[in-house]
């Protein structure tokens, strides 16, 4: 095994990783992809090679209870498999880059301090992303680390898309719309010229539908608006987050129900969305299989909200050439793709049912005025590319 780069995506209960061989030109070879799930409860390690064959799948001891101990377990596996090879660098997914970080950044103590100030803006993700950076710094001192932000891709949006219409003195402290899932959108924009050349230079809406969900309006491959804003709470209905709600509801929670800031935060990040509406599950698979009215309403609202926001972003784009589905739900649920396309038929989307079931990539009929697509995302590859460019492992593409 030659030298390699590691990509980490650290969440509250999982640490996802990819191992890439030292890149030749700008092509990255995926050596292994895996995750440690159930951190803090029943940790399990699994990994596959680039061709999808299982390399490891076993439970871990209960001592794996946080990012640090998860990283220890990963480091042990990396040593046993790649012992002697050199770690060239570690690229991290970091959800919030705030107003300062408009692009991937080499991590220094000052950068880390600044990123910690953004924890309240992304309490579900940012602390875990940063804990992984800390853990690598402690264990692999001297290995360069790169932070890749979900917000960066949206930073060129027009002022009208980024503004938060509150008093200037409030917004001066960085209150603006940032947008998220940027690594996913950047990846999709990067492959459109090959996968869907007829729309790559046009007006495209990408629907990143996973546990977190958002839409991005792309014009000629650049983000001009998105449904997530200052935090990852806005826009579409998500697994446990509500998407857009009347801010008066939040005031009511404080003033009339007397809830604390922590309680409101927990409601907004962990108890709302599909889980809140259904009272059953935050997992779309479960909800699609359940007959209860709450499950039906949750799915109906998910589709309704997506279709409504597709209409809004079409107005922003001044028309639409293509709609792309990606992420967990977007890639795996033909039923949700069908329902969103059906609700968006008025725009000129004519779904090809067979192609939709066959997972595309094109899922609309030949004659469809607006084309629809299913394209798997690859945020890890995007992080690897940025890490390689920043660390001088490969040359930037012009």
- The residues that touch ligand ADP, with contacts defined as CB under 6 A, are 210-212, 239, 283-285, 288, 327-329, 332-333
Is the Cβ of residue 317 or residue 336 nearer to ligand ADP in the bound state? 336
Is the Cβ of residue 223 or residue 378 nearer to ligand ADP in the bound state? 378
Is the Cβ of residue 176 or residue 184 nearer to ligand ADP in the bound state? 184
What is the smallest separation between the CB atom of 279 and ligand ADP, expressed in angstroms? Answer: 16
Measured CA to CA, the distance from residue 160 to residue 224 in angstroms comes to 10
Q: Is 321 exposed, middle or buried (0-12, 13-18, 19+ CB in 10 A)?
A: buried
Q: Residue number with the shortest CB distance to ligand ADP?
A: 328
What is the smallest separation between the CB atom of 31 and ligand ADP, expressed in angstroms? Answer: 21
Is the Cβ of residue 176 or residue 378 nearer to ligand ADP in the bound state? 378
What is the smallest separation between the CB atom of 269 and ligand ADP, expressed in angstroms? Answer: 13
What is the smallest separation between the CB atom of 274 and ligand ADP, expressed in angstroms? Answer: 8
Is the Cβ of residue 122 or residue 370 nearer to ligand ADP in the bound state? 122
> Is 150 one of the annotated active-site residues of the chain?
yes
What is the smallest separation between the CB atom of 378 and ligand ADP, expressed in angstroms? Answer: 12
Is the Cβ of residue 39 or residue 394 nearer to ligand ADP in the bound state? 39
What is the smallest separation between the CB atom of 336 and ligand ADP, expressed in angstroms? Answer: 6
Report the 3 state secondary structure along the chain: CCCEEEEEEECCCCEEEEEEEEEECCEEEEEEEEEEECCCCCCEEEEEECCCCEEEEEECCCCCCCHHHHHHHHHHHHHHHHCCCCEEEEEEEECCCCCCCCCCEECCHHHHHHHHCCHHHCCCCHHHHHHHHHHHHHHCCCCCEEEEECCHHHCCCCHHHHCCCCCHHHHCCCCCCCCCCHHHHHHHHHHHHHHCHHHHCCEEEEEEECCCEEEEEEECCEEEEECCCCCCCCCCCCCCCCCCCCHHHHHHHHHCCCCCHHHHHHHHHHHCHHHHHHCCCCCHHHHHHCCCHHHHHHHHHHHHHHHHHHHHHHHHHCCCCEEEEEHHHHHHCHHHHHHHHHHCHHHCECECHHHHHCCCCECECCCCCEEEEECCCCHHHHHHHHHHHHCCCCCCCC
Is the Cβ of residue 314 or residue 333 nearer to ligand ADP in the bound state? 333
Three-point CA angle 380, 328, 91, nearest 5°: 15
Long-range contacts, stretch 118-124, CB < 8 angstroms, 24+ apart: 121/96, 121/230, 121/231, 122/95, 122/96, 122/231, 122/232, 123/265, 123/269, 124/12, 124/232, 124/269, 124/270
And the tokens for 322? 């293509």
What is the smallest separation between the CB atom of 158 and ligand ADP, expressed in angstroms? Answer: 27
Is the Cβ of residue 150 or residue 321 nearer to ligand ADP in the bound state? 150
What is the smallest separation between the CB atom of 282 and ligand ADP, expressed in angstroms? Answer: 6
Catalytic position from the list 26, 134, 150, 286? 150
Which residues carry out catalysis? Answer: 150
């Amino acid at each position: 095994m030659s030298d390699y780069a590691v990509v980490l995506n650290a969440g509250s209960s999982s640490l996802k990783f990819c191992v890439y061989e030292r890149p030749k030109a700008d092509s990255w070879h995926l050596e292994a992809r895996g995750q440690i799930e159930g951190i803090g409860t029943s940790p399990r390690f699994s990994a596959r090679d680039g061709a999808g064959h299982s390399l490891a799948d076993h439970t871990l001891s209960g001592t794996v209870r946080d990012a640090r101990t998860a990283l220890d377990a990963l480091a042990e596996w990396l040593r046993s498999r790649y012992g002697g090879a050199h770690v060239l660098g570690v690229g991290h997914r970091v959800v919030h880059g705030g107003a300062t970080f408009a692009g991937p950044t080499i991590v220094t103590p000052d950068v880390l301090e600044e990123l910690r100030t953004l924890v309240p803006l992304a309490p579900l993700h940012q602390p875990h992303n940063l804990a992984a950076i800390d853990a690598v710094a402690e264990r692999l001192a001297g290995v360069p680390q790169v932070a890749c932000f979900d917000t960066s891709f949206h930073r060129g949006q027009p002022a009208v898309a980024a503004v938060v219409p509150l008093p200037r003195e409030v917004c001066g402290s960085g209150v603006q719309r940032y947008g998220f899932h940027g690594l996913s959108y950047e990846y999709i924009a990067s492959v459109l010229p090959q996968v869907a050349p007829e729309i790559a230079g046009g007006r495209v809406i990408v629907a990143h539908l996973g546990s977190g969900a958002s839409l991005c309006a792309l014009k000629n491959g650049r983000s001009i608006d998105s449904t997530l804003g200052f935090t990852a709470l806005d826009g579409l209905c998500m697994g446990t987050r509500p998407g857009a709600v009347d801010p008066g509801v939040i005031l009511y929670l404080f003033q009339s129900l007397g809830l604390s800031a922590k309680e409101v935060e927990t409601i907004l990040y962990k108890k709302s969305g599909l889980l809140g509406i259904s009272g059953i599950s935050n997992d779309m698979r479960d909800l699609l299989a359940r007959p209860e009215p709450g499950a039906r309403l949750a799915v109906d609202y998910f589709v309704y909200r997506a279709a409504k926001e597709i209409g809004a972003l079409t107005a922003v784009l001044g028309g639409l050439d293509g709609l792309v589905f990606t992420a967990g739900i977007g890639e795996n649920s033909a039923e949700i793709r069908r329902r969103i396309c059906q609700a968006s038929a008025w725009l000129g989307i004519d779904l090809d049912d067979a192609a939709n079931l066959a997972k595309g990539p094109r899922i609309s009929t030949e004659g469809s005025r607006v084309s629809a697509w299913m394209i798997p995302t690859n945020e890890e590859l995007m992080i690897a590319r940025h890490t390689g460019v920043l660390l001088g492992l490969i040359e930037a593409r012009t």
